[in-house]
Amino acid sequence: MRTRVLRADVQDGCAVINDAVNLLVAGEVVAFPTETVYGLGCNALDNKAVEKVFAAKGRPSDNPLIVHIAHFAQIKPLVREIPDIAIKLAEKFWPGPLTLVLLSSGAAAKGVTAGLDTIAIRMPAHPVALEIISKSDLPIAAPSANRSGRPSPTDAVHVLSDMDGRIPLIIDAGKTNIGLESTVLDLTREIPVILRPGGVTAEMLKQVLGEVLIDESVLNAFDFGGSVASPGMKHTHYAPQAEMIVVCGEMLNVVPKIRQMAKGFSNVGKRVGILATSETASQYPEDYCVLTPGSRLAPQIYASNLFASLREFDVLGVDVILAEGLSTQNEGLAIMNRMLKAAGFNVVNAD
């Protein structure tokens, strides 16, 4: 299969968007941008189309997909009921990086829900994504457009690296804005539960809900025996090719601990990569591969560059990545969730 990459925006991309729409309606798979990461989209009502997404990603069948909509009315056929709190959250955060888990009506293809009685739905805040979904007049199931287990793609170049020859079309609209997948919030429980943190933080949700819980798998390894309620809950996600270790603790202790560990790995012939913040990057020797997604004082910028940095370590050919742990406040919770899962919860405490 030849994979085409076409540049599009809402001003001059009508023909390109129509190409994407025609493929989706025909049961094919298309990669397109959202504000979070690039998605691998298909008709959420078509079982064969959904199977193509799983095949392209090499994704386990027990991992559910998120359904993307362009208008609130599209949610109604997909769910048994729309609770008042879902309407309130949609009014506050949609379009945007918040996915709501609701009771499924059974209308979506079986692979979308992975056999669960719930369905995950969001409305992306990207003009190209909204135009494609609206013009197709379909709910679009779209996991991240990467091979399963790899860092999610925040640029069309990343998608092509993973999906070349696997899908017919990639819509390129440049770098994504947020850079981490959406927050997934389960509304089927008595108290709403964050299954995956993202751009809509726990602090933001508490302002609307009053009380919200965070699933224990967010910051801890958890052995799931079967299907999970949300993408990204199993701990083999977002991983670079190199071994990755997250070093946590007070920064006064983290930097010397990483320098000590880096020297040890280097002494046995391993090429070392260090994932540092802009505040500390200059404190590491130049003979290591030091990448800086951003400042710990600007977690939104750090988050937008995290996955690209993990992919850059692959290009640099490092053997081990030593990453500075961050605070779990606000956007830091989503960053640490991705870093810990990328490292397979391989953590060293520097204190």
Query: Among the listed ranges 3-12, 28-37, 254-263, which one has the minimum average pLDDT value?
Result: 3-12
Average pLDDT over residues 198-212: 97
Q: Are 65 and 182 in contact (CB under 8 A)?
A: no
Average pLDDT over residues 274-288: 96
What pTM value is reported for the model? 0.94
What are the residue ranges of helices labelled H in 58-183? 84-93, 110-113, 127-136, 156-163
pLDDT at 228: 59
Position 224 confidence tier, pLDDT thresholds 50, 70, 90:
very low
Indicate whether 225 pLDDT > 50.
no
Indicate whether 227 pLDDT > 60.
no
pLDDT at 235: 44
Distance CA 88, CA 209 (A): 9
Average pLDDT over residues 259-285: 98
pLDDT at 79: 98
pLDDT at 13: 60
Residue 206, strand partner residues: none
Indicate whether 12 pLDDT > 70.
no
pLDDT at 62: 82
Distance CA 112, CA 101 (A): 12
Distance CA 145, CA 231 (A): 13
Tokens of 81: 């009921």
Q: Tens digits of per-residue pLDDT, 140-164?
A: 999 999 999 899 999 999 999 999 9
pLDDT at 41: 98
Indicate whether 335 pLDDT > 80.
yes
pLDDT at 230: 63
Position 60 confidence tier, pLDDT thresholds 50, 70, 90:
confident
Query: Among the listed ranges 75-89, 137-151, 225-239, 293-307, which one has the minimum average pLDDT value?
Result: 225-239
% of the chain residues with pLDDT over 90:
89
Q: DSSP letters along 176-197, please?
A: -SS-SPPEEEE-SSSS-EEEE-
pLDDT at 238: 85
What backbone torsions phi and psi does residue 127 show, to the nearest 5 degrees?
Answer: -60, -35
Position 131 confidence tier, pLDDT thresholds 50, 70, 90:
very high
User: Mean pLDDT for the chain?
Assistant: 94
Go through the domains of the chain in sequence order and give each one's CATH number: 4-218 (3.90.870.10), 243-349 (3.40.50.11030)
CA atoms within 13 A on the CB side of 237: 25
Q: How many residues does the chain have?
A: 351
Tell how far CA 27 is from the center of its chain. 24
Which three-class secondary structure state does DSSP give residue 230? Answer: coil
Position 73 confidence tier, pLDDT thresholds 50, 70, 90:
very high
Q: Tens digits of per-residue pLDDT, 228-248?
A: 566 655 545 788 999 999 999
Listed as own residue / partner, the contacts of 283-292 with beta carbons closer than 8 Å and 24 or more positions apart are 283/255, 283/259, 284/255, 284/258, 284/259, 285/259, 288/262, 289/313, 289/316, 289/318
Indicate whether 304 pLDDT > 70.
yes
